[in-house]
Amino acid sequence: MSNPLSLGYSPCPNDTFIFYALVHGKLAGAPKVRERLEDVETLNQLARRGALDLTKISYHALGHLRHEYALLRSGGALGRGCGPLLVSSRPCDIEELRTTCIAIPGELTTANLLLQLHGEGFSRTRAMPFDRIMPAVAAGEFAAGVIIHESRFTYRQHGLHQVLDLGQWWELETGCPIPLGGILARRSLGAGLIGRIDAALKASVDYAFAHPDEPRAYIREHARELDDEVTDSHIQLYVNAFSRDLGDEGIAAVEQLFSRAEARGLIPPCDLPLFVSAG
């Protein structure tokens, strides 16, 4: 393919760590890509408009896009102990928040989907960029907010209190790891090219693990949190064996999320397979 593929991902350390080798031409024979770095909800909306060939996506968004995009096995964010947190400006019980307005990092984020799957859900939410949620809650603009990414390491610095660890709730409820975000490819790219892309993503993850210091300048260039300790903690939490390959356990977690969301009417049903098979 002569033209590079458009590839969207976030400026968060886990993504810049994973994609460093691919976008910097470190992998022989890998498809050429042109990166676009945006926050996760912007990527969700771009995918909804079909604006990207490849993209990091919230699994919630994938639930709405399964007819146009297929899931890749490598490059995503899925694990244990890494879910979104519901935080407030004062200690409170979750039931106190059912009728208040809660800040969320986007309508199509998995964070919002997990929030809506908890109990009867939450009827009043307001979407805003994830990095604005903690200051807004601390300032009293919202009673609570759902925080993601590196915010889970820094919310106490804003004087905030954890009300609920949505990831921990999910793990206890289902026994599955938390499917936060995956990598999608347009189904129209075809099985052959999609297979090459998936192999290149796995190789990019392997390269980052083998050369952990090499991507550091690129990560620091884009990180919203410049503290190296926070950056390293972020990568250690969100980049793991599931980032190399979802495997049976990861796939089961995604299917469990979609099954529960479909049953609640939060995403539409889809009869297409998650993956495009070369066979």
Q: Rounded to the nearest 10 degrees, what angle do helices 13-23 and 228-238 cross at?
A: 80
Contact 97, 263 (CB under 8 A): no
Contact 11, 223 (CB under 8 A): yes
56 is in an annotated binding site: yes
- Looking at the chain, which runs of residues are DSSP E strands? 5-9, 33-37, 54-58, 69-71, 77-79, 85-88, 102-104, 125-127, 144-147, 161-165, 178-186
d(CA 65, CA 67): 6
Contact 148, 130 (CB under 8 A): yes
* Burial classification of residue 126, based on how many CB atoms lie within 10 Å of its CB (0-12 exposed, 13-18 middle, 19 or more buried): middle
Q: Output the six-digit token pair for 3.
A: 């033209």
CA angle centred on 156, ends 150 and 160, rounded to 5°:
105
DSSP reduced 3-state for 248: helix
Q: Which of 25, 26, 51 is nearest to 38 (CA)?
A: 51
111 is in an annotated binding site: yes
261 is in an annotated binding site: no
d(CA 148, CA 126): 15
Identify the residue whose tokens are 């979609």.
258
So which residues are the catalytic ones?
A: 149
- Binding-site residue numbers are 56-58, 110-111
- Binding-site residue numbers for substrate are 56-58, 110-111
